Amino acid sequence: MEEKYLQYTPQDFKSDQEVRWCPGCGDHAILSAVQKGLPEVSKALKYNLERYVFVSGIGCSSRFPYYVDTYGFHGIHGRASAIATGVKVANPTLSVWQITGDGDALAIGGNHFIHAVRRNIDTNILLFNNQIYGLTKGQYSPTSPLGKITKTSPFGTVEHPFRPGELVIGAQGKFFARSLDIDVKLTSELMVEAAKHDGTSVVEILQNCVIFNDGAYDYITDREHREDRVIVLRHGEKMVFGKNRDKGLVLSGLSLKVVTIGQGGFTMDDILVHDAYNSNPGVHMMLANMEFPDYPVALGVIRNVKDSTYDDNVRDQVLEVMKDAKIKSVDDLLNSGETWEV
């Protein structure tokens, strides 16, 4: 009999709950990418459905767990990283997915987020970045660009935004990838990569909030310009982009530089090859921080580095200590150390 994990279809991951996001919200596309991605993950890693746990905080995006027919935990604002950490440590065989918004992960939950990344606990974090607070109806978030006019910044924000990739790599993150809500195929593909990676995998998904921040990513999503303004990175491949595949990235001094192949003396040989596995975060940081119009926005797996994980270390340490432990039960414990008879 064929194992069940080989047979899943997206339908298996659809719950009976009515999806309540606004029509046109980018979250719909991400949901369908996840429902398409899960059968792929199952196939790649031999996971049965009951192994998945989706954990979220609070926000529009955090409603997500209700819509996938797996185990799910809809937590409190900002705490998804901590809850997910507990789930994973309690049962390391589970495949734990954290769904979080830019406010949830980077404002109220910033502390938990960076510590989850630092610990390298084996969870997969899908960070829906719409650069706004959706659920509370349109206040600026830690990723809103400087000067952004919102309900709580009627004259424009006066604070510098986080760049999630920079934050992840700064917190010693080992896996960072980026996708667009509308690119369902890429998002599914990145889910498989994230799942395969042992340790905290952060996938930032640039998401459109049609109601409160519509068009925030039009500059890279509209068909006309998309290919000239984004670069999809793949490990081992040249960093080439553009409609005509004639643009590429080279290293100039200590910075990246966009060049046109065949112009200014640059040939294909000069173009950098993407090495996601390099433990040195230097180039990864530069790639993660590329912003339009000076650079194309990097999509795909930017960083994917092996290291020991928190959950493995916990398990190994317990096994190691248990191996030649003298205390094997509570009775042993109670009778250990200094005791006397009366």
**Main-chain phi, psi angles of 75, to 5 degrees:** -90, -140
Among 4, 28, 77, 257, binds ligand TPP (CB under 6 A): 77
User: Which of 183-204 are b and which e, b meaning 16 or more Cβ less than 10 Å from the residue's Cβ?
Assistant: bbebbbbbbbbbbebbbbbbbb
Instruction: State which residue, 58 or 233, has the beta carbon closest to ligand SF4.
Output: 58
* DSSP conformation letters of 158-174: -SPPP-HHHHHHHTT-S
Binding at 37: pick from ligand TPP, another protein, ligand SF4, none (beta carbon under 5-8 Å per type) = none
User: Burial level of 329, CB count in 10 A (0-12/13-18/19+)?
Assistant: exposed
Among 8, 212, 241, 310, binds ligand SF4 (CB under 6 A): 212
Within residues 133-152, the interface with ligand SF4 by CB under 6 A covers 134
Distances (CA, A) of 69 to 12, 22, 109, 247: 7, 21, 26, 43
CA 119, chain centre distance (Å):
15
Smallest distance, ligand SF4 to C-beta of residue 59, A: 8
Q: Does 21 bind ligand SF4 (CB under 6 A)?
A: yes
Helix (H, G, I), strand (E, B) or coil at 317: helix
Among 37, 59, 75, 199, binds another protein (CB under 8 A): 75
Q: How far apart are CA 77 and CA 57, in angstroms?
A: 5
Q: Do 172 and 117 touch, CB atoms closer than 8 A?
A: yes
Binding at 333: pick from another protein, ligand TPP, ligand SF4, none (beta carbon under 5-8 Å per type) = another protein
Q: Does 211 bind another protein (CB under 8 A)?
A: no
Q: How far apart are CA 227 and CA 292, in angstroms?
A: 12
Binding at 21: pick from another protein, ligand TPP, ligand SF4, none (beta carbon under 5-8 Å per type) = ligand SF4
Smallest distance, ligand TPP to C-beta of residue 326, A: 46
Instruction: State which residue, 171 or 230, has the beta carbon closest to another protein.
Output: 171
Helix (H, G, I), strand (E, B) or coil at 185: helix
Task: Return residues touching another protein (CB under 8 A).
Answer: 15, 17, 48-51, 53, 55, 58, 65-66, 69-76, 79, 81-91, 93-94, 111-112, 115, 314, 317-318, 320-322, 325-331, 333-335, 337-342
Task: Return residues touching ligand TPP (CB under 6 A).
Answer: 58-61, 77, 101-104, 128, 130, 132-136, 141
Task: Return residues touching ligand SF4 (CB under 6 A).
Answer: 21-22, 25, 27, 60, 130, 134, 209-212
